[in-house]
Structure 1
Amino acid sequence: MIALLRYQTALLIGSHRWLPPVILYAAWLAIGIRSGDAILGAFGWSVGGLVPAAAWLTRVCVTNEPPAARNCAAAAAGPGRVHLACVLTAAGAGLLLALIGTAVVVLLSDPHSDNHYVAVPVLPAAFAGLLAALVCLLMGTAVGALSNWPVLRSTGWSIPTGLLAALLLLVLGASPANAAVSGLVTGSIDGTISTPWLPLAATALIAAAATAAACALSSRRG
């Protein structure tokens, strides 16, 4: 698996197809994060952008190989393992974005509530923000796994389906991503830190199930 991860990482870097989702997330941060913003509210904005960015990175990784190269790798290691390596590579790239976003928020934001009266401890806030980032990252990865090959083969269906799913997961109250973002934004009003353990656990199960389903289907359609 380590060799497959190295191969997929090199393929991702060399393809330069990581640039659009990275630029998307950078623009998301530039639009919504300003110096002096309340730290929890800034985290609420920054983590939300990881859902579409992670979904896009997952699409890039699972569709990056030419068919001949994919068939060779699948013959050597098994199609399920190859597809798992693709999804894990995307998740690793998304994690790097999450860490960068966390650092940007910590450096630029004000560790106080929205009214700037209540002090917010930076380390617990950063920890809660990073966990919320993981929730959105895993949710976006699950979206990418289910809205692309081998679940959906047609680009005409996969791209709009992925975009719509990413949007719905941010706005629907039942979504773990929405719960994580809402906890940060609501806590920013009075300076209360809400650590999203339950959304993280739910999202981890969803992402694992989505990835397992995609890997199993890749074995059948490989």
Structure 2
Amino acid sequence: MTALLRYQTELLLRSQRWLPPVLLYGIFLAVGAQGGDPVLDSLGVAAAALLPVTAWLVRICATQEPPAARHCAAAATSPARVHLSCLGAASVCAAVLAVAGTAVITAMSDPSSTDHQTAVPRLSAAAAGLLAALVCALVGAAVGALCTWPVLRSTGWSVTATALAALLVLVTTGSPAHTAVYGLVSGSRTGTVHIPLLPLAASAAIAAAAAAVVCRLTSRRG
């Protein structure tokens, strides 16, 4: 599995198809988080931005391999393991973005509440922001997995479904991503840091379930 994961990651990096989603993430951060803004608010923006970016990365990894090469890899291992390595490669790249984005936002932001009256511990804020980013990355991975091949074969329908689903899970009450981001933003009003452990567990379960579903479909259709 490690070799497959390394292969899919190298394939993604060499194709340079990762550039558009990574640039989109950078644009989100540049527009939504300015130097001197309250740290928790800015970390909320960074976490939310990672969700559609991760979904995009999953779509790229799921469809980047030529059919002949994918069939060869599937014959050597199994279609499910190959597809799981695609999801893993996208998730690893999203995790790297989460760490980098959290570090940059934490360093450039003001460690205070929204009204700049209450101090916010920078390390605690960074921990909460990183976990919220990972929550959004896991939910984004689930969205990307369920909105591309083998669930949806049409590129047009896949892109539309991915965009709509990413928006819905960010704004729907009860979604782990919404809960994690809202915890950062609401905590910023009072200078309170909320660590999103329950949303992280829920998002991990959702991502695992989505991966199981699409890998089973891959085995049937691959």
Give the TM-score of the pair, scaled to structure 1: 0.99
Instruction: Give the residue type in structure 1 aligned to 2:70.
Output: R
1:141 corresponds to: 141
- Structure 2 gap ranges (5+): none
CA distance in 1, matches of 2:183, 2:5: 34
SS at match of 1:173: coil
2:23 corresponds to: 23
CA distance in 1, matches of 2:6, 2:101: 24
Give yes or no for the alignment of 1:11 onto 2:15.
no
1:194 corresponds to: 194
Q: Equivalent residues in 2 for 1:202-217 (5 A)?
A: 202-217=202-217
1:105-138 Cα shifts (integer Å, max 9, x gaps): 1111000111111111111111011110010000
Q: Residue 61 of structure 1: CA displacement?
A: 0.3
2:218 corresponds to: 218
Query: How many residues are treated as equivalent by the alignment?
Result: 222
Stretches of 4+ aligned residues off by more than 4 angstroms:
none
CA distance in 2, matches of 1:32, 1:17: 24
Instruction: Give the residue type in structure 2 aligned to 1:155.
Output: T
1:79-129 Cα shifts (integer Å, max 9, x gaps): 000000000000000001101110111111000111111111111111011
1:100 corresponds to: 100
Give the TM-score of the pair, scaled to structure 2: 0.99
1:132-161 Cα shifts (integer Å, max 9, x gaps): 001000000000000000111111211100
- Structure 1 gap ranges (5+): none
Q: Residue 163 of structure 1: CA displacement?
A: 0.4
The percent identity for this pair of structures is 60
SS at match of 2:201: helix
Q: Equivalent residues in 2 for 1:58-207 (5 A)?
A: 58-207=58-207
Instruction: Give the residue type in structure 1 aligned to 2:186.
Output: T
SS at match of 1:52: helix
Instruction: Give the residue type in structure 2 aligned to 1:4.
Output: L
CA distance in 1, matches of 2:125, 2:13: 32
Instruction: Give the residue type in structure 2 aligned to 1:120.
Output: V
CA distance in 1, matches of 2:193, 2:4: 39
CA distance in 2, matches of 1:93, 1:200: 18
CA distance in 2, matches of 1:86, 1:164: 22
Q: Residue 19 of structure 1: CA displacement?
A: 0.5
2:35 corresponds to: 35
CA distance in 2, matches of 1:49, 1:215: 26
